[in-house]
Amino acid sequence: SSRSIGKRRALLKALRKVKGAYSLLLLTNNELIGARDPQGFRPLVLGKLGESFLFASETCAFDLLGAKYIREVRPGEMVVIDKKGIKSYLLPSSRVSQCIFEHIYFARPDSLVFGESVHKVREKLGKRLAQEHPCKADLVIPVPDSGVSAALGYASESKIPFAMGLTRNHYIGRTFIEPLQSFRDMEVKIKLNPIRDVLKGKRIVLIDDSIVRGTTSKKIIRLLREGGAREVHFRISSPPIKFPCFFGIDTPVQRELIASSYSVEEIRERIGANTLGYLSLEGLLSCVKNPDSYCTACFNGDYPLKVSPQTKYIFEAK
């Protein structure tokens, strides 16, 4: 109807003015609309279940429902679904800047994100990490669950056996997002527990996806030593995080990011590892297709949109 067309035009006009990261869904009486920002920061995918269409952030949601994955919603695309079928509208996009952290940490390993298997990308990160930072050790152990795929890649490339040396309580959330340090400290103890028979007397390569503040890493390394590990060599499947994110990830202010204030050697000393190695930015980008289409601002400060630090906590301001 002309009324629906008018609504679509109004929405497109509004979206042209909105700056930032979003995957947007609207449901009216007769339409389902999905839209993704022109930079494509966040993933959005389209699926079908019987005669119904679905949108989701990740393809694993379709697997759980028994739905069929159709395609990714393109950066700057607005998809309108009604009784007549699907229509697509495109906003102008100058620079696609998909969030590389989706592949490193946020997305589930059983999802396709930005057209690639998250598990396979993380395995590649682990293999490249083993090439850049080899280590003499007895076991490769992941920080569960986010470090598992990268640890499998590291173990495969280094020919060091993979083992689970930490068990995880899956009812605890993401510790780095917790606002208070006391909560984060308590959650590490509740969330992870060492498997002593695996660790006793062993030289460990510990694999994790990132270090944010460093407090969680320090606790985990202490847990491994208390569990009997003789040496703990820490390997990170991403570069040092030096800059805050303004596009949807609740990373801390810059002064709280340990890599913004300390060198790799200083971080190693602070967290208590025998050695510490980060994946290079070049190495990270070599593991994804279309490396120029990713935002890497948290590593190099190259923000794809102009940002103001004051806007990060605008809703918390009184």
pLDDT digit string, tens, across residues 210-258: 999 999 999 999 999 999 999 999 999 999 999 999 998 777 688 889 9
Q: Which CATH architecture has domain 2-96?
A: 4-Layer Sandwich (3.60)
The one-letter amino acid code at 303 reads Y
Whether residue 155 is predicted with pLDDT greater than 90 in this model: the reply is yes
Residues 187-216: pLDDT tens digits?
666 689 999 999 999 999 999 999 999 999
Distances (CA, A) of 209 to 32, 247, 289: 36, 19, 19
What average pLDDT does this structure show over 260-269?
97
Any idea where the domains of the chain sit in the sequence? 2-96, 101-311
CATH class of 101-311: alpha beta
Q: How far apart are CA 3 and CA 189, in angstroms?
A: 56
1 has pLDDT over 70 = no
CB 224 within 8 A of CB 217: no
**Amino acid at the residue 212:** V
d(CA 68, CA 66) in angstroms, rounded, equals 7
**Average pLDDT over all residues of the chain:** 91
Positive or negative, the CA dihedral 59, 61, 63, 66 is negative
pTM of the model: 0.89
Q: Measure the CA–CA gap between 100 and 291, rounded to whole angstroms.
A: 9
Instruction: Write down the pLDDT at residue 6.
Output: 79
Residue 187: what pLDDT?
A: 60
Q: Starting at the edge strand that comes first in sequence, how are the strands of the sheet with 52-56 ordered?
A: 52-56, 45-49, 68-72
More confident residue, 313 or 279: 279
pLDDT score at 7: 81
Q: Which pLDDT does position 310 carry in this prediction?
A: 57
Residue 289 has pLDDT above 90, yes or no: yes
